[in-house]
Structure 1
């Protein structure tokens, strides 16, 4: 089965309980949307729930950077993409976008994930079969351009005099 380039989730609905007192999607639920899509992409790499249960190996998020671009509201429907940017024998970086079904960008996320041996827990190399699947997704996604919004850092831009 060919890997989706990039992976794009099914349509997800914004839930009533996710709306904050400002009338838009609470920041925590952007993570829920990103994480839900990640779980589906992880499954394609053999890193899903069954992997954790059966092999006692899993993925932890070490770092995440989210940019909130445009508000989402109750009734909005979105899709979330997942692009594997890079990996080594124990880690990978991914870039995601939440897009409204009308196409506009709502948020981006860039993550560093660690492959974990749950017995430790400790960071551990992927088994050969998983390393092969991770590399297959990276190679498939390598045809995509580097996302313009990836590699951002947090800071206050000051005007120079």
Structure 2
């Protein structure tokens, strides 16, 4: 049986230095928060800092798409939920949703990010390598709980202007 519920992986408050001249969180800080969330996910699947250091392994982001859906202001508390959409021996395909924790009853995301991560050996050249068996097991277990979820609203989108004919 699967749960299919996204995993809340990270929470924080929007800091004053993250806010721009319009009073909104700057676009770069959405990615920073999503990056912190992926770090938390790495901890969850057994690839925390001490393991990465000892095994000389890491995870690199190959691609990241961000959709900015609603304004986020200073002091707001946000949370990031993650879904593992797919994985293979070396890669993770993630879907992250940022929500305002105290959003007046509405729980629509304020931003989403779809990301592709690659597992690498950091010894000279950062060559891609399969996940170690213990990490691969954690990845498989997480995916098993989430694979039957509804299709993510913003996954698979392409950036581009419509072509006029």
TM-score, L = length of structure 1: 0.91
Q: Report what 2:138 is aligned to.
A: 133
Which piece of structure 1 moves more, 4-13 or 14-23? 4-13
Question: Per the alignment, in what secondary structure is the counterpart of residue 126 of structure 1?
Answer: coil
CA RMSD of aligned residues (A): 1.8
Q: Report what 1:114 is aligned to.
A: 118
Question: Per the alignment, in what secondary structure is the counterpart of residue 94 of structure 2?
Answer: strand
Runs (4 or more) in structure 1 with deviation over 2 Å come to 157-160
TM-score, L = length of structure 2: 0.88
Q: Report what 2:83 is aligned to.
A: 83
**Which structure 1 segments of 5+ residues have no match?**
none
Alignment coverage as a number of residue pairs: 158
Checking the alignment, whether the CA contact within 8 Å between 1:7 and 1:41 is kept in structure 2 is no
Offset of residue 48 of structure 1: 1.8
Which piece of structure 1 moves more, 17-26 or 151-160? 151-160
Which piece of structure 1 moves more, 63-72 or 6-15? 6-15
